[in-house]
Structure 1
Amino acid sequence: MQGVNVVDHPLVQHKLSIMRDKNLSTASFRRLLKEISLLLGYEVTRDLELTTKEIETPLEKMQAPTIEGKKLVFASVLRAGNGLVEGLLDLVPAARVAHVGLYRDHETLQAVEYFFKAPSDLENRLVIVVDPMLATANSAIAAIQMLKDRGATNLRFLCLLAAPEGISNLRRAHPDVEIYTASIDRQLNEKGYIVPGIGDAGDRIYGTK
């Protein structure tokens, strides 16, 4: 699919298969999500622009590659997005973090905003929007629009699982935002959950029902 990047690295696929098991403990699910977020993070940041600066190694001076531009932003769609952000911050500890509070109305499946906090100068930063599940895409579409309304112009969306319906909806609403995911699952069920999926990511991360 145009604008969709599936991370098919064997370690990503192996860890995802373990996470799908309904009998996996909360602690193990959380640990694996952190591990897989590191691997996904490598892919979503693969083409960051580099510049050079002079440093001195123990042997000589050299022009060393460093990331160019302002620090990137991980925008977590609360609450489940935080499960991915923890691993991403291990990969890029200097990154800024935005929090976008949205919940899905179980009757309408529409996203409802309850919180927003982001760094300044979003227009000058790469913003990676993070949510484990891209199901209907209503939350992702709303979160991206909120960030655009605050000035963000360079955005990507990173998730663990995506449904074809969600991909179509997000690409139609925000065709400028590329999607990175570990898997495109079969479809949504009548309740708007991804199948075969992993269940409710937030509940599995935090041990709630």
Structure 2
Amino acid sequence: MIINLSETNSLVGEWLSEIRNIEVQQDRMRFRRNMERLGEVAAYEISKTLDYEEKEITTPMGIANCRVLKSQPVLATILRAGLALHQGLLHYFDKADHAFISAYRKHNHDGSFDISLEYVSTPSIDGQVLILSDPMLATGSSLVKTIEHLEEIGKPSHIHLVVAIACTVGIEYVLRNTKANLTIWAGDIDDELTAKGYIVPGLGDAGDLAFGNKLQQ
């Protein structure tokens, strides 16, 4: 299932306009905050799909019957670009366990690139709902490799991919190359992908915009 959060009128469109804007996005604090906001909206929407149970809560005046999550999801993100989006999810799922994955493009001299996955720190994810965040779903290669590696550790009952911008090519690649029970939540979906694997119009390099330029390419 694919959900484009921009298909209906909401503040998501306002935040994305600032995230994409070549001038506004230079304000790193605002860029990170807008990413957090997208994560918060995605968390709220995802929360509607989860399982709940009735629980009696003692108030100063009596007993209230409340609906609470049966179990917390596991929040996972791709370092470093996904940290702001992850923080937004954490604002809502503030009791969740966390997984962190280092997956990045290692560029070759001919302009091609390989996906390098060097570090994974994760709690048990077997039978759990996993919410995996990454600002950009471009080619889909890094997300597929990440999912494959995580599934070697444990089999989540459901994976929610949360991205700010997705490309149709990348979405199709992910759906073709993973058998996971999967839902993709995208702030918006763009159609064009360059020969070097960059989304157009996209937003640029989310990691650099949030945290500064990196030396390695």
Alpha-carbon RMSD across the aligned residues, in angstroms, is: 1.4
Per the alignment, residue 7 of structure 1 pairs with 5
Which of 144, 152, 172 lines up with 2:147 in the alignment? 144
What are the superposed Cα offsets for residues 70-115 of structure 1, whole Å, 9 maximum, x if unpaired?
x211111111111211111111111111011111122333311110
Q: Does 1:169 align with 2:167?
A: no
Q: Does 1:197 align with 2:206?
A: no
Partner of 2:57, secondary structure, is strand
**Contact 2:39–2:162, Cα closer than 8 Å, also in 1:** no
Letter in 1 for 2:116: V
From 28, 31, 39, give the equivalent of 1:29: 31
Q: 1:164 to 1:94 in 2, by over 3 A?
A: same
Please point out which of 185, 191, 212 is paired with 1:207.
212
Match of 1:135 among 110, 133, 138: 138
Counterpart mapping for 1:45-194 below 5 A: 45-69=47-71, 71-107=72-108, 108-120=112-124, 122-153=125-156, 154-175=158-179, 176-194=181-199
SS in 1 for 2:102: strand
Contact 1:126–1:155 under 8 Å retained in 2 = yes
Counterpart residue identity of residue 4, structure 1: I
1:19 equivalenced with 2:19 (yes/no) = yes
Q: Distance in 1 between matches of 2:10 and 2:114?
A: 35
**8 A contact 1:19–1:198 mirrored in 2:** yes
Give the distance between the partners of 2:113 and 2:41, measured in 1 at CA. Answer: 30
Q: Give every structure 1 segment of 4 or more consecutive aligned residues whose post-TM-superposition deviation is greater than 6 Å.
A: none
**How far 1:184 moved relative to its partner?**
0.6
Offset of residue 61 of structure 1: 1.2
Partner Cα distance (1:10, 1:55) in 2? 34
* AA at the equivalent of 1:193: Y
- Identity over the aligned pairs, expressed in percent? 32
Unaligned runs of 5+ in 2: none
- Relative to structure 1, the CA distance from residue 174 to residue 45 in structure 2 (aligned partners, 3 Å threshold; closer, same or farther) is farther
Question: Secondary structure of the equivalent of 2:202?
Answer: coil
State the TM-score, normalized to the length of structure 1: 0.93
The alignment partner of 1:136 has SS state of coil
Report Cα offsets for 1:107-144 as digits up to 9, x if no partner. Answer: 33331111011002x11311111100000001100111
Residue 67 (structure 1) shift? 0.3
Does the CA contact (< 8 Å) of 2:78 and 2:103 recur in 1?
A: yes
